[in-house]
Amino acid sequence: MGEESKANVLVFSFPIQGHINPLLQFSKRLISKNVTVTFLTTSSTHNTILGRAVAGGATALPLTFLPLDDGFEEGHPSTDSSPEYFKNFEENVSKSLSNLISTMDPKPNAIVYDSCMPWALDVCRKHPGVAAASFFTQCSTVNAIYIHFLRGEFKEFQDDVVLPAMPPLKGSDLPVFLYDNSICRSLFELISSQFVNVDDIDFFLVNSFDELEFEVLEWMKNQWPVKNIGPMIPSMYLDKRITGDKDYGISLFNAQTNECLNWLDSKPPGSVIYVSFGSLAVFKDDQMIEVAAGLKQIGHNFLWVVRETETKKLPSNYIEEIGEKGLIVNWSPQLQVLAHKSIGCFMTHCGWNSTLEALSLGVALIGMPAYSDQPTNAKFIEDVWNVGVRVKADKDGFVTKEEIVRCVDEVMEEKSEKGKEIRKNAERLMEFAKKAPSEGGNSDKNIDEFIAKIVK
């Protein structure tokens, strides 16, 4: 950096992989623009995150990690979604965050907090002069759908939903909590809470880029000064302006990097289906067996991430039976995998980070959504951005092996017109994804504007 720091910012992510990644990436963007960043963790995740940051290289960044006291023992699962957990978490962390700001001299110019912790705004307001930026880790389309729902414009379990600036949606295209919120009431409440105080925040930052959701963004901008700052993926896959930024830097899982890359090196270009359902998805036993059977049947190689906790659901002898055609790992270096020349398409749960990564690298998609915002992302992948297909599930949400084979053929077969169209669109969107954070791109300008405003 060399120059004097322009501003001092606290960045606070909810401690799960899919939220740490974009917020850490945003921190790197700020640092590259001469802003001092403190990355806040929680006391029960601090040592884990720090240990993982060392392994992932994030501690080499000019970035301080500071814990906020959440009142839980180290290692308490951040996937606990009980109402008691969220209540205690909020109470303890709010207090700790406020104490931290009180001891800071000079005070931070801003807090950039994960939108699912909207109470950080109340803490901010106790400290005049500290700006509040809510960072949304999901896209504007999903934000807009939640907002319409919370305004009573459609009901839970509604099957056909028509909303401004987007195509007609079926119930199964909506974020899962709106179509089947019996799944977990406290998570639904957490998600809804993101919008309780958006009228009062100073900055509404979204991990997306303008060309992707142009119409919805226009609608959102008529309500709030929404700014896209994405895609928040390492710079070396986009504008390459942050030297050496190839990895997010903190991985809560151990990636089998050499194993994946060596195996991919041994496969022909464009021949491999990369299959991963993210850091949280849990399949029912019969669905896991069916996915395994579908992949065994396809006429292509596949690299499948099956997290350690899911491996027991694989059919016995499966690894021996698939032989060289398939590699199963517990965690992959996903960006390096997606950027590898052997990858032909990505079968994904359509988590927002995975979606943005594929869009940024121009990889065709097969969407098999399950949870949260994933069905909406899958709908847009197939019908709006036309960069992939989505598996059709039966009325119980089950996806058959035949359906998996059909989707793979549709994307991968050389003669498939749809496959060609998908690849063309993926290339086109990749250009926009790369331009957004490049010098003078819309996301870059929005980050500059954010910095200029907080130092005023």
By CB under 6 A, name the binding residues for ligand UDP.
Answer: 17-18, 21, 276, 278-280, 305, 331-332, 334-335, 351-354, 357
Shortest approach of ligand UDP to residue 13 CB, angstroms? 12
In whole angstroms, give the CA distance from residue 400 to residue 293.
Answer: 9
Helices (H), 12-81: 17-32, 46-56
Closest CB to ligand UDP among 436 and 451? 436
In whole angstroms, give the CA distance from residue 89 to residue 193.
Answer: 15
Shortest approach of ligand UDP to residue 17 CB, angstroms? 5
Burial status of residue 207 (CB atoms within 10 A of its CB: 0-12, 13-18, 19 or more) = buried
DSSP sequence for 159-207: SEE--TTS--EEGGGS-HHHH-TTS-HHHHHHHHHTTTTTTT-SEEEES
Shortest approach of ligand UDP to residue 158 CB, angstroms? 25
Closest CB to ligand UDP among 109 and 334? 334
Shortest approach of ligand UDP to residue 332 CB, angstroms? 4
Closest CB to ligand UDP among 161 and 357? 357
Closest CB to ligand UDP among 357 and 382? 357
Shortest approach of ligand UDP to residue 335 CB, angstroms? 6
Shortest approach of ligand UDP to residue 152 CB, angstroms? 29
Closest CB to ligand UDP among 153 and 310? 310
In whole angstroms, give the CA distance from residue 312 to residue 307.
Answer: 10
Closest CB to ligand UDP among 109 and 141? 141
Please tell me the number of Cα atoms within 13 Å of 444 on its side-chain side.
Answer: 18
Closest CB to ligand UDP among 375 and 419? 375
Give one word for 414, left, alpha or beta, with left for phi > 0 and alpha for psi -120 to 50.
Answer: alpha
Residue 243 corresponds to which amino acid? Answer: T
Asked if residues 134 and 203 have their Cβ atoms less than 8 Å apart, the reply is yes
Shortest approach of ligand UDP to residue 238 CB, angstroms? 14
Q: Which helix (H) or strand (E) holds 227?
A: strand 226-228
Q: For residue 19, how far is the Cα from the chain centroid?
A: 6
Bridge partners for 63 per DSSP = 37
Place of tokens 């390459």: 240
Closest CB to ligand UDP among 143 and 276? 276
Asked if residues 66 and 40 have their Cβ atoms less than 8 Å apart, the reply is yes
Shortest approach of ligand UDP to residue 336 CB, angstroms? 9
